[in-house]
Chain A
Amino acid sequence: MADEIPATGSASARPGGGIPRRVFLGACAAVAAPALLTAARQDGGAAQGAADATAAPRYDPRVHNYGMGVDVNKCIGCGRCAAACKEENDVPRDPHYCRTWIERYVIKTDGECEVDSPNGGIDGFPEPVAEGDVMRAFFVPKLCNHCANAPCVQVCPVGATFSTEDGVVLVDESYCIGCRYCIQACPYGARFLHPVSKTAQKCTFCYHRVVRGLVPACVEVCPTGARIFGEVQRPSSPLTRFRRFNALQVLKPQLNTEPRVYYANLDGQVR
């Protein structure tokens, strides 16, 4: 074989019959071809993956920042939100815990303030307000405020409750040790210990619905539009419109928890 190769290349010209160029190149090709083919296949696979991604874009939490608006003047105290929350999130009915609930405030002419919330309002408020010296009365829906500066997240000893990149405070149920420290720390009473799993639970803004492009269950069923869900910073969002046209208040602003639940027409008696 070596004799047939023209003596132009330096390799074949090497004395003692070194590796002929053709053999060397052939061996190189044999070694390199599978690697090149694999690389090409991987490129194609990546291109295929990109095509899939454009067909069904994966939810990206970094481009969202959620919040909720509550118009106290529109709430009729029907309790559909609290009942829907129980359905959607399997919140226990007995003993009675709520991720969201309605409070009825009755302020008497002598300034005395009475607050009640039978069963969290999931069955509405069948008992009428005792008439007489009522100065004003109203309903206030309550839920987790999804604080940007959340005390519950700060105190969790294991990192089982956390703020996601889209501004929702969630609980990792399989990692929670049930120490109840977050329940103590929440200034809004929005947390409870699930009686079966013995882990902390709270409103998630229906995170499993939000990532699918739906609104939280309480917002979906609110018949008067007292609850508004949307993005805090995006210019085109129902929440942005709500924040533009209402004088807003948050609960317990003096605690600097920076809630993402904004109340319109909130009475100063509400705590």
Chain B
Amino acid sequence: MAGRFAPWRVFAAVPQQVRRLAIVVAVLVAALIVARALLVPPTFGDRGHYRAASVDSIEKLPIRYAGHEACAMCHPQVVERKASSFHRGVACEVCHGPAVQHTTNPIEVKPPAPRDRAFCPRCHAFNAARPTGFPQIDTTQHNPGVPCFACHNPHDPTPSHPPESCAACHGMIFRTEAVSPHAPLPCTECHTADPRHKEAPRQWLPTKPVDREFCGGCHAAGAPAPASLPASLRIPRVDLATHGERYVCWQCHYPHYPEAN
């Protein structure tokens, strides 16, 4: 009974050409299996269509930046000083560079403390693309030749005296206004700033004009010219009742550059 279904008998029963084809297919399948075993790396497909071992090797790469938590373990006084300063969000390694070697060998490896006057302007030099209110200086005018840390402790950079001009932080507005017809007007003509604004700028915001009548103080028909302006200056006058009555002035005119309408 069992002999009738023996594989060799079945094999002998099929036509010769099919047998040859079967042998070729079997050889191809075997070659595929062998080639796959040789070519596909060991951990490929364990976690997805990739070599799982490569993730492990990437995980083991060395770190260079230790992180500010590591610094805080040994330098709590600096961290405490910095925590209440404008530089509270600036991690130690921003200025001192990657310091993981210092954490493992604190005596021999000392991270650099930049004292070069060129260092701080990397963040604080005036650049029109920087956000408004970010403290920026003109390096050629701001105490040239004096190293920054002579006046500013980098861990608590509040200056020894508050900024004298609004341009220290509002450089873009200052420069725009300087070439506009409003150049003779001081900032305080339109804005009233609490003195504390210079030390806590976001807690003590300066005022801004709120109505048309404020601009009308100079620009309404028949309004008097401010004493701070030269008498020869021609001030454009409009009739507030008919000129753009649906809008407040700065919806069309940029007050720091008022031609731009």
**Chain A interfacial positions (CB closer than 8 Å to B):** 59, 61, 73-80, 84, 87-88, 104-106, 109, 123-126, 128-129, 131, 134, 137-139, 159-165, 170, 172-175, 204, 207-209, 211-212, 214-215, 217, 220-221, 223-225
**In the assembled complex, which residues on chain A have CB atoms less than 8 Å from the CB atom of B161?**
none
Contact call A223/B94, Cβ cutoff below 8 A: yes
Bitwise, B122-134 to A at CB < 8 A (1) or not (0) is 1101111111001
Contacts of B41 in A (CB 8 A): 175
Given contacts A59-B59, A223-B89, contact A80 B128 (CB under 8 A): no
Query: What are the residues of chain A within 8 A of B123 when measuring CB–CB?
Result: 76, 78, 80, 124, 223
Look across to chain B and name the residue whose beta carbon is closest to the beta carbon of A211: B59
In the complex, are the beta carbons of A109 and B122 less than 8 A apart? no
The listed residue (A77, A173, A208, A215) touching B54 by CB distance below 8 A is A173
Q: Are B54 and A214 in contact (CB under 8 A)?
A: no
Interface residues on B, range: 35 or more
Q: A88-B98, A165-B48 are in contact. Are A139 and B129 (CB under 8 A)?
A: yes
The residues of A that contact B260 with a CB separation of less than 8 Å are 109
**Is there an interface contact between B50 and A134, defined as CB atoms closer than 8 Å?**
no
Q: Please name all residues of chain B whose beta carbon is closer than 8 Å to the beta carbon of A75 when the two chains form the complex.
A: 131
| Residues on the A chain within 8 Å of B89, using CB | 223-225
Counting residue pairs across A and B whose Cβ atoms lie within 8 Å, the total is 124
Q: Give the A-binding residues of B (Cβ under 8 A).
A: 41, 44, 47-51, 54-55, 57-65, 67-68, 87, 89-91, 93-94, 97-98, 122-123, 125-131, 134, 175, 260
- Which chain B residues border A137 with CB–CB below 8 Å? 128-129
A71 to chain B, nearest CB (A): 10
Of the candidates A88, A106, A123, A138, the one whose C-beta lies within 8 Å of that of B65 is A88
26 sampled A-B residue pairs with Cβ under 8 A: A59-B59, A73-B131, A77-B130, A78-B123, A79-B122, A87-B65, A88-B63, A105-B129, A106-B128, A106-B129, A109-B260, A123-B122, A125-B127, A129-B127, A159-B44, A159-B51, A164-B55, A165-B47, A175-B41, A209-B65, A214-B65, A215-B67, A217-B64, A220-B93, A221-B91, A221-B94
- Residues of chain B within 8 A of A162, CB atoms compared: 48-50
- CB-CB under 8 A for A159 and B93, given A76-B130, A208-B63: no
Give the residues in chain A near B49, CB-CB below 8 Å: 159, 162
Q: How far is the CB of B8 from chain A (nearest CB, A)?
A: 41
Give the residues in chain B near A73, CB-CB below 8 Å: 131
Partner among A128, A165, A174, A207 whose Cβ is within 8 Å of the Cβ of B127: A128
Distance in Å from the Cβ of B244 to the closest Cβ of chain A?
Answer: 21
